[in-house]
């Protein structure tokens, strides 16, 4: 499959009520971020997927723009989400590992020094809802409602069981191990609830209901599905859509992606029904590349997978619509990154907002309207601290520093699969890009908490990890 293949879009015109359209132009745009978890680059129709139909997700690309070089700032869940929610390279504040589920630990998550997108949008009178996977800390001080969100429906851990009957823990302190975090009952704000639906369907339902409740004010919905992250679990409703697939990972994965696609369909339908589609920015992306070996995902021609600084780990399915400003049916090939979502929305609010920190994303709108024909970014950087793996992208070139010593250089325009290492032939470029990387590294700090790989070490240092501590 060639990522550059232009997919012809049959565009159905969307009819809007003109009065409400006029009214919407005077108000701040709504924002919905649909974040899939561990979705492969080639597993959506707009990137050429053949065996899993995603007609609703594809509509976002058809109604707006599909990014062929859309990146995230890290190759696994936690750090990538920390970047997305702050608009900053997460390495700037030491969120460079996947956090452990540690309900007693106020350091294990997004540091309180950071502002989230919800914090910023509050300044512009948005109502904000976080749905699904939080993963920014399980301590009470790191709860979504303490991080700018008005509402929350989901779980605090890095993954979850999908069948509600498997959610048996009433309290995180009933957990005995890291992965018990997957079994906690869902939270509605601070209250444990008994969900009855398949998780993906429950999250879609909550998004739709929030749109309905907030139709008269600007809103931000962070719709962070945990699908299609492991454990691979799907209901018959979705499995039965793939009778031609043999039983196994790919089939269950396909069913899980199909459930997300249905959810996107419900969200789009509700926006259209309420005449809100015109002035709502919807972004769809995955938090990292597909872990092909574990969930049956497919990153297509890209090398590597989740956990890698090769393209398969960091280049994700990425599309955005905003009919009021972005022309439909576009393909944008220049590199952009998840950090840009933050910068884009805060540039659009009718009440200006002010950030406390320097942000790393850019407002994409002038690039999408062709008001600015330059590249949004001269450089993009990645760091996997423990592995000492780094990557820097500049124009078509990408340099990888592997294990802190071995350099590789690829021309992504000619070699999207990163097969032809040019580092010996272009030693000068390698040394320039190494210097650029060094300069960037001077702005980042070491990780501030232990990660998933340190579970045993963490337990040893924190024997009371799952014991409820009484307030002092």
Q: Which stretch binds Ca ion (CB under 5 A): 9-17, 24-32, 74-82, 123-131?
A: 74-82
Q: How far apart are CA 70 and CA 318, in angstroms?
A: 6
Phi, psi (rounded to 5 degrees) for 204: -65, -45
| Residues pairing with 380 in the sheet | 393
Q: Could you give the CA distance from residue 390 to residue 440 in angstroms, rounded to a whole number?
A: 11
Q: To the nearest whole angstrom, how small is the minimum distance from the Cβ of residue 83 to Ca ion?
A: 13
Stretch of 115-123, 253-261, 282-290, 359-367 contacting Ca ion, by CB under 5 A: 282-290
Question: Is the peptide bond preceding residue 228 cis, with omega within 30 degrees of 0?
Answer: yes
Q: Among all residues, whose Cβ is closest to Ca ion?
A: 77
Give the residue among 179, 162, 100, 166 at the shortest CA–CA distance from 135.
100
Report in angstroms how near the CB of residue 34 gets to Ca ion at its nearest.
14
| Residue 77 engages Ca ion in binding (rule: CB under 5 A) | yes
Candidate segments 35-43, 192-200, 265-273, 451-459, binder of Ca ion by CB under 5 A = 35-43
**Rounded distance between C-alpha atoms, residue 376 and residue 367, angstroms:** 7
Least distance (Å) from Ca ion to the CB of residue 289? 9
Q: Which of 203, 393, 402 is nearest to 315 (CA)?
A: 393
Cis peptide, bond prior to residue 231, ω within 30 of zero: yes
Could you tell me which residues are beta bridge partners of residue 223?
Answer: 34, 131
Of the two residues 75 and 117, which places its CB atom closer to Ca ion in the complex? 75
Between 65 and 230, CB nearer to Ca ion: 230
> Going by DSSP bridges, is the β-strand pair 70-71/336-337 parallel, antiparallel, or unpaired?
parallel
Q: How far is the CB of 84 from Ca ion (least distance, A)?
A: 11
| 42-71 footprint of Ca ion as x/- string (CB under 5 A) | ------------------------------
The helix/strand/coil state of 19 is helix
**Binding residue (CB under 5 A) for Ca ion from 38, 114, 278, 340:** 38
Helix orientation angle between 249-273 and 55-63, rounded to the nearest 10 degrees = 50
Question: What is the distance between the alpha carbons of residues 419 and 413, in angstroms, rounded to a whole number?
Answer: 12
Query: How many residues at the interface with Ca ion, by CB under 5 A?
Result: 5
Instruction: Choose the stretch contacting Ca ion; rule: CB under 5 A; options: 21-29, 280-288, 387-395, 441-449.
Output: 280-288
Question: Contact at 8 Å (CB) between 381 and 155?
Answer: no
Query: Any catalytic annotation for residue 135?
Result: yes
Cβ atoms < 10 Å from Cβ of 113: 9
Active-site residue among 77, 143, 229, 377?
A: 77
Shortest gap between Cβ of 352 and Ca ion (angstroms)?
33
By CB under 5 A, is residue 37 in contact with Ca ion? yes
**Residue 29 or 291 with smaller CB distance to Ca ion:** 291
Smallest distance, Ca ion to C-beta of residue 291, A: 8
Closest of 386, 396, 372 to residue 449, by C-alpha: 386
- For Ca ion, which residue of 47, 226, 288, 349 counts as binding (CB under 5 A)? 288
- H and E: helices and strands count for the chain: 13, 16
- Interacting span for Ca ion (CB under 5 A) from 41-49, 103-111, 183-191, 288-296: 288-296
Of 433, 441, 346, the closest CA to residue 422 belongs to: 433
Of the residues 49, 75, 135, 143, only one is catalytic, namely 135
- Cβ proximity to Ca ion: between 224 and 264 the closer is 224
Closer residue to Ca ion, CB minimum distance, 38 or 278:
38
Residue written as tokens 């580092």?
Answer: 423
Between 37 and 114, CB nearer to Ca ion: 37
CA–CA dist 276, 115 (Å, integer): 27
Q: How far is the CB of 133 from Ca ion (least distance, A)?
A: 8
Smaller CB distance to Ca ion: residue 287 or 308? Answer: 287
Name the residues annotated as catalytic. 77, 135
Chain residues binding Ca ion by CB under 5 A are 37-38, 77, 287-288
């Amino acid at each position: 499959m060639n990522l550059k293949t232009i997919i012809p879009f049959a565009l159905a015109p969307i009819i809007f009520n003109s009065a409400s359209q006029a009214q919407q132009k005077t108000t701040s745009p709504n924002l919905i971020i649909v974040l899939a978890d561990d979705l492969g680059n080639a597993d959506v129709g707009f990137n050429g997927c053949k065996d899993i139909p995603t007609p609703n997700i594809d509509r976002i690309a058809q109604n707006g723009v599909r990014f062929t070089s859309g990146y995230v700032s890290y190759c696994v869940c936690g750090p990538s989400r920390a970047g997305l929610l702050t608009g900053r390279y997460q390495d700037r504040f030491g969120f460079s590992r996947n956090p452990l589920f540690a309900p007693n630990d106020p350091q294990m998550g997004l540091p309180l020094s950071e502002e989230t997108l919800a914090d910023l949008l509050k300044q512009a009178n948005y109502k904000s809802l976080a749905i699904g996977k939080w993963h920014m800390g399980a301590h009470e001080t790191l709860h979504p409602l303490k991080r700018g969100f008005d509402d929350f429906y989901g779980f605090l851990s890095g993954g979850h069981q999908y069948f509600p009957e498997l959610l048996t823990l009433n309290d995180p302190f009933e957990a005995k191990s890291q992965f018990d975090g997957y079994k906690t009952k869902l939270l509605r704000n601070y209250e444990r609830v008994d969900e009855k639906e398949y998780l993906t369907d429950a999250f879609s339902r909550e998004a739709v209901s929030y749109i309905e409740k907030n139709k008269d004010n600007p809103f931000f919905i962070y719709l962070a599905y945990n699908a299609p992250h492991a454990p691979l679990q799907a209901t018959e409703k979705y499995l039965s859509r793939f009778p031609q697939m043999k039983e196994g990972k790919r089939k269950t994965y396909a069913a899980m992606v199909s459930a997300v696609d249905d959810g996107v369909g419900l969200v789009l339908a509700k926006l259209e029904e309420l005449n809100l589609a015109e002035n709502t920015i919807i972004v769809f992306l995955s938090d990292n590349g597909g872990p092909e070996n574990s969930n049956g995902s497919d990153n297509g021609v890209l090398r590597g997978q989740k956990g890698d600084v090769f393209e398969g780990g960091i280049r994700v399915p990425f599309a955005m619509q905003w009919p009021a400003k972005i022309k439909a049916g576009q393909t944008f090939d220049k590199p952009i990154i998840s950090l840009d979502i933050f910068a884009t929305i805060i540039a659009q609010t009718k009440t200006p907002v002010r950030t406390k920190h320097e942000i790393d994303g850019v407002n994409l709108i002038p690039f999408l309207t062709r008001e600015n024909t330059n590249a949004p970014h001269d450089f993009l950087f990645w760091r996997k601290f423990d592995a000492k793996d780094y990557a820097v992208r500049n124009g078509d070139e990408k340099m990888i520093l592997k294990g802190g010593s071995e350099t590789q250089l690829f021309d992504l325009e000619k070699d999207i699969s990163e097969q032809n290492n040019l580092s010996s032939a272009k030693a000068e470029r390698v040394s320039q890009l190494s210097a650029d990387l060094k300069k960037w590294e001077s702005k980042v700090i070491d990780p501030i908490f232990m990660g998933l790989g340190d579970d045993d070490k963490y337990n040893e240092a924190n024997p009371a990890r799952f014991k409820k501590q009484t307030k002092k």
